[in-house]
Structure 1
């Protein structure tokens, strides 16, 4: 039985994948509310879009993109484990996943600002 310590990078990748999935699931009601405002009328949607110009909303949007990228990268890492089996380079896969997620977030931030 493989009992790695909780400080091992693969355990941290596991936690990031699960937490990002949970936070994305908690975001969904807000997303559906925003979509509902578009259906309710142009004035409600315009008010929501004005609110999204707030710097705090921009920061939250960037965090959301990083969460999406982290969850996607973590999911791809898990899929590689399923189909390729355990490799000695798991730490490298974790680093690539984290780097890809941060790169996507930074690119989004540069595009947004």
Structure 2
């Protein structure tokens, strides 16, 4: 039988957040590139899209996007630390700080966007 005990470890959650944030960013990038191309090919369409972005739900989605970016960034720093630094029992604290830092960055963006 397969053991799932590793999934109760806090660093497994950090691993999962890093993988899911990377997936979310990968799904967002084609949309982002499409919008950048629209600036060149359909400026009027891009302007109408700009009005749609003032919707509060879009602002919350931007919060999510910035959170994904910050979580992926800080998760990458955590991975670099795991690979490059001698590691101790402080891993749980550093993983929690990664999530807190990502949330702080995203919340700051949201407060400035509203």
With the length of structure 2 as denominator, give the TM-score of the two structures.
0.92
Tell me which residue corresponds to 1:91: 92
1:51-66 maps to which residues of 2 (within 5 A)? Answer: 51-66=52-67
Structure 1 segments, 4+ long, off by >6 Å, are none
Q: Which moved more, 1:95-104 or 1:47-56?
A: 47-56
Encode CA deviations 1:38-81: one digit per residue, 9 max, x unaligned.
01132122011111111111111110000000000100000000
User: What is the CA–CA distance in structure 2 between the aligned matches of 1:86 and 1:15, rounded to whole Å?
Assistant: 20
- Structure 2 residue 47 is the aligned partner of structure 1 residue 40: no
With the length of structure 1 as denominator, give the TM-score of the two structures.
0.92
User: What is the CA–CA distance in structure 1 between the aligned matches of 2:86 and 2:61, rounded to whole Å?
Assistant: 36
Identify unmatched segments of 5+ residues in structure 1.
none
User: What is the CA–CA distance in structure 1 between the aligned matches of 2:58 and 2:41, rounded to whole Å?
Assistant: 22
RMSD: 1.4
User: What is the CA–CA distance in structure 1 between the aligned matches of 2:52 and 2:28, rounded to whole Å?
Assistant: 17
1:75-86 maps to which residues of 2 (within 5 A)? Answer: 75-86=76-87
User: What is the CA–CA distance in structure 1 between the aligned matches of 2:5 and 2:90, rounded to whole Å?
Assistant: 15
Q: Which moved more, 1:69-78 or 1:46-55?
A: 46-55
Tell me which residue corresponds to 2:12: 11
- Structure 2 residue 87 is the aligned partner of structure 1 residue 111: no
